[in-house]
């Protein structure tokens, strides 16, 4: 299946940037080199390293101050 998809936010692009997931707003891709890792700003003021699949699945909605599954530490 190789349909042309021009809609932003699909697939593995940079579509997450600026998006909000719960308490988190995605700032930029992480430079850690890990695929799917992003730096996000939490409403509590902290920044956290988060993974796109956890954001999309709804498992990560904060830096760890509100979820039962905290984001990884170390940006």
> Contact positions toward Zn ion, by CB under 5 A?
42, 44, 46, 62-63, 65
Written in H, E and C, the secondary structure of the chain is CCCCCCCCCCCCCCCCCCCEECCEEEEEECCCCCCCEEEEEECCCCEEEEEHHHHHHCCCCCCCCCCCCCCECCC
Output the smallest distance, CB 73 to Zn ion, in A: 12
**Smaller CB separation from Zn ion, 23 or 52:** 23
Q: How far is the CB of 48 from Zn ion (least distance, A)?
A: 7
**Minimum CB distance to Zn ion, residue 53 (Å):** 20
């Amino acid at each position: 299946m190789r349909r042309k998809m021009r809609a932003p936010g699909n697939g593995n692009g940079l579509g997450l940037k600026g998006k909000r997931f719960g308490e988190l707003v995605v700032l930029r891709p992480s430079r850690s080199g890990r695929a799917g890792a992003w730096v996000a700003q939490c409403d509590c003021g902290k920044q956290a390293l988060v993974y796109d699949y956890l954001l999309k699945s709804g498992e990560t909605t904060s830096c760890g101050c509100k979820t039962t599954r905290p984001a990884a530490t170390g940006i």
